[in-house]
Amino acid sequence: MTLDRRPSSATGRLWLLRRVVFGMAVVLLGSVLVFAATQVLPGDPARAVLGHEATPERVAALRTELGLDRPLVAQYLAWLGGVLTGEPGHSLVTREPVGGLIGDRAVNSAVLVLVSAAVVVPLSVFVGAVAGRRRDRPFDRAVLVVTLGLTALPEFIIALLLVILLSTSVFPLLPGTVLLAPGQNPFGEPAQLVLPVTALVLGVLPYLARLVRGSVIDVYESEYVRTARLKGVPENVVLRRHVLRNALVPAVQGTALALAYLTGGVVVVEQVFNYPGLGSALVDAVNNRDFPVIQLICLVFAACYVAFNLLGDAMTVYVTPRLRTAGR
């Protein structure tokens, strides 16, 4: 088995195409579920808009105006058609286009997730690799204890502890609340990003670092590493050429899952820090029964999950020669 052989491009493309189509089907199924879920939510957007003193006639009139009295299938198809043509409809509450309402927030959330990922992935690989390399030494044990402790803490507890430690009480160094004006670039005030990013990093690091550590140890115990060592290959070359390359596969998978997890975890962290992202928009939309907004945000989350997983799988195949050539 040689590492530098490239996959047959036709087979690879077919496989990727199949996965993309399958992913799209999952998102479509997700859209049905999201739509159905919003329909069974108790409550009524027309009432949320008009307030509870509104007369039944006014509520009925608004329901007609908003198209809420049409058959469900017709409502779903109209919505799906809108999403596919880039017109995901208007908010029932503010009557503004949904895209405009959540666009700025989607960018903010994406910034948070990507910055966190950019920090957590290299950090986890480094920590995991060093811990695995120095298995059972003090560093490894410290990593195990700290990551175990962090795993036990829910993200919002980590977030609150960070605020107490670094913002309000012990060391008043960083802002504990994010105050971003609408349309303001989140990088405009980088200090505000530190705590939310740290909370997300600490939420994902234990999982990813332990995964890397585990796979590094696994590879170290494999026969080909032993063979390499017996051949007299220097230890750092063993690490670089044999261990890390092979340990990368679970790490890539783990990163994809971690990204998907970050996308969901961002909802809680945004709430704690008042970060104006998709998470807080979703909470508000649910409170107002603003169906088009709920549906689009959930769909964005679902699409991110599918996309990250797809990306993870594709990269796994790329870095695993065995899988690359399996189609032949």
Considering only residues 47, 68, 82, 323, which one is a binding residue for other proteins as defined by CB under 8 A? Answer: 47
Question: Which residues on adjacent β-strands are paired with residue 97?
Answer: 90
Token pair belonging to 278: 């998709």
Touching other proteins, residues 285-324 (CB under 8 A): 285-290, 293
Specify the DSSP class assigned to residue 3.
Answer: S
236 lies in the site for other proteins, by CB under 8 A: no
Tell me the CA distances in angstroms from 14 to 8, 20, 256, one per residue in order: 10, 10, 22
31 lies in the site for other proteins, by CB under 8 A: no
185 lies in the site for other proteins, by CB under 8 A: no
Taking the complex as a whole, how short is the minimal distance between the CB of residue 323 and other proteins, in angstroms? 20
How many Å separate Cα 233 from the centre of its chain?
40
Q: Can you give the length of the chain in residues?
A: 328
The DSSP-derived string for 239-283 is IIIIIIHHHHHHHHHHHHHHHHHHHHHHHHHHHHHT--SHHHHHH
Closest of 186, 213, 207 to residue 274, by C-alpha: 186
* Those residues with Cβ within 8 angstroms of residue 271's Cβ, 6 or more apart along the chain or in another chain: 156, 279, 280, 283
Taking the complex as a whole, how short is the minimal distance between the CB of residue 293 and other proteins, in angstroms? 8
24 lies in the site for other proteins, by CB under 8 A: no
Considering only residues 31, 34, 62, 197, which one is a binding residue for other proteins as defined by CB under 8 A? Answer: 62
Touching other proteins, residues 190-229 (CB under 8 A): 210, 213-215, 217-218, 221
Write out the residues near other proteins by the rule CB under 8 A: 41-44, 47-56, 58, 61-62, 91, 93-94, 135-136, 141, 144-145, 149, 160, 163-165, 167-170, 172, 175-177, 179, 181-182, 210, 213-215, 217-218, 221, 271-274, 276, 280-281, 284-290, 293
